[in-house]
Amino acid sequence: METAYIHTHDRIRYKRCRRKWYFGSALRRHLEPADQGPNIHLWFGTGIHFALEDFHGYNRFGCPATALDAYYNAFKDDELPQGAEDMVELGMAMLDYYLIWRQNRDLYKTVWIDGEPQVEVQVQLELTELSEKVGYPVVFRGTIDRVVEDEYGDWWVQDYKTAAYIDLNKLANDPQIGNYVWAAEQHYQKEIEGMVYTQFAKKAPKPPRVLQSGELSLDKRQSTTYKIFRAGLLERYPDGNFPPKFIEFLNMLAEKESPEGDEFIRQDPVRRNIHAKESTYNNMMMEVDEMLNPDLYIYPNPTRDCSWDCEFRPACLTMDEGDDWEYLIEQFYQERGEENDQWRNRIKWPDTTEASQTSV
């Protein structure tokens, strides 16, 4: 092996199931199902990242939804995953709401170094101790979505996640948080407070429902927010003198929100102290040491999630049954290809907007 590149997602897969990792990891078989087509969730997440990368960087498009539309149009028809048109419409609505959501809420500014915004920062750090042990370079590799500065001048890394719903339970021990805080601190040689963990639920608020009578619905199940509902009321009551039933409904909506966010977007600062950073490094070194062991025992970790969470399940079951699992590999799997980023070369950038430093 010329160089072993270590990725956080690969380490997570290793701990989830050694056999799944063995089939999929670039350190071993590096396989994927043949002819599976582009993954709609990865494609969508990449588009959201691109839109926010531009908006919080050079801001060439001036609006993240416009950047997402440019991302969509940079793909050929046969490169788009099924359902891409519907997903990009949803994404544009999510990003339009992001502009409303961040008013009086987003206190972080992009860090600029030598005229360049620190967005989509590629980090490569050699793990020297392991390199010396195995006899070839072992390199941690990752991409930091954004480096930000808070109102006190402290630096944080920011990570964007898109998911079906917002999950706060994983913040205390999410390995990616510790890994990227540690990596950023080594990369910049500067203390990093922690990670601003930003989650986007794959849904967007809608204007309040209008009844046949012309009044706004008070149905608590409707997908709206305090600001949006209040704006709808002001169209009907410009003086702000709302009937009591609407004030009560507004209060209910306000209780569902917090400085960190709401059910659509949430931004949580997660600190990591020096002990947590040292633990992150030590754990990574022990895990990678195991992963690079040529005599590592490869065994499965079957759970009820395997049926939907493992693309190698047919080969795994065939292996345990003593049948010809290598035949399945030859027929239905292929070497994993490199990530195709040709779409970046096809982005149609605005002609009149000059790149400039921005505080968004």
Do 336 and 193 fall into the same domain? yes
Cβ–Cβ contacts within 10 Å for residue 92, how many? 21
Query: Which amino acid is it at 272?
Result: R
User: Domain boundary residue among 228, 259, 290?
Assistant: 259
Do 250 and 320 fall into the same domain? no
pLDDT computed for residue 324 by the predictor: 95
**Residue 28 to residue 21: CA distance in whole angstroms:** 8
Assigned domain for 170 exists:
yes
Q: Looking at residue 144, which CATH number applies to its domain?
A: 3.90.320
Structural contact between residues 165 and 128, judged by C-beta atoms closer than 8 angstroms: no
Do 8 and 154 fall into the same domain? yes
Total domains in the chain come to: 2
Do 31 and 99 fall into the same domain? yes
User: Domain boundary residue among 240, 259, 278?
Assistant: 259
Q: Map residue 208 onto helix, strand or coil.
A: coil
Per-residue pLDDT of 305-340, as tens digits, reads: 999 999 999 999 999 999 999 999 999 999 987 777
Does residue 36 carry a pLDDT above 70?
yes
CA distances from 38 to 72, 174, 311 (A): 14, 27, 14
The mean predicted confidence, pLDDT, of the chain is 93
Assigned domain for 360 exists:
no
User: Domain boundary residue among 229, 259, 289?
Assistant: 259
Do 92 and 212 fall into the same domain? no
Structural contact between residues 182 and 281, judged by C-beta atoms closer than 8 angstroms: yes
Do 131 and 217 fall into the same domain? no
Assigned domain for 88 exists:
yes
Structure confidence at residue 351 as a pLDDT band (50, 70, 90)? confident
Do 196 and 334 fall into the same domain? yes
For strands 119-126 and 138-149, give the pairing: antiparallel
Does residue 283 carry a pLDDT above 80?
yes
Does residue 356 carry a pLDDT above 50?
no
Assigned domain for 352 exists:
no
**Residue 108 to residue 155: CA distance in whole angstroms:** 9
Structure confidence at residue 254 as a pLDDT band (50, 70, 90)? very high
Does residue 195 carry a pLDDT above 80?
yes
Do 105 and 133 fall into the same domain? yes
Average pLDDT of the residues in 74-82: 92
Assigned domain for 90 exists:
yes
Do 161 and 297 fall into the same domain? yes
Does residue 222 carry a pLDDT above 60?
yes
Assigned domain for 252 exists:
yes
Per-residue pLDDT of 151-193, as tens digits, reads: 999 999 999 999 999 999 889 888 899 999 999 999 999 999 9
Do 58 and 189 fall into the same domain? yes
- Domain span at residue 130? 4-202+264-346
Assigned domain for 353 exists:
no
CA distances from 140 to 5, 87, 247, 320 (A): 6, 32, 53, 33
Do 148 and 293 fall into the same domain? yes
Does residue 113 carry a pLDDT above 50?
yes
pLDDT computed for residue 124 by the predictor: 97
Average pLDDT of the residues in 212-216: 90
Locate all alpha helices (DSSP H) within the chain, ordered by sequence. Answer: 8-16, 18-24, 40-55, 64-73, 84-101, 128-134, 175-188, 226-236, 244-255, 274-291, 306-309, 313-320, 325-332, 343-346
Do 52 and 32 fall into the same domain? yes
pLDDT computed for residue 38 by the predictor: 82
Does residue 263 carry a pLDDT above 50?
yes
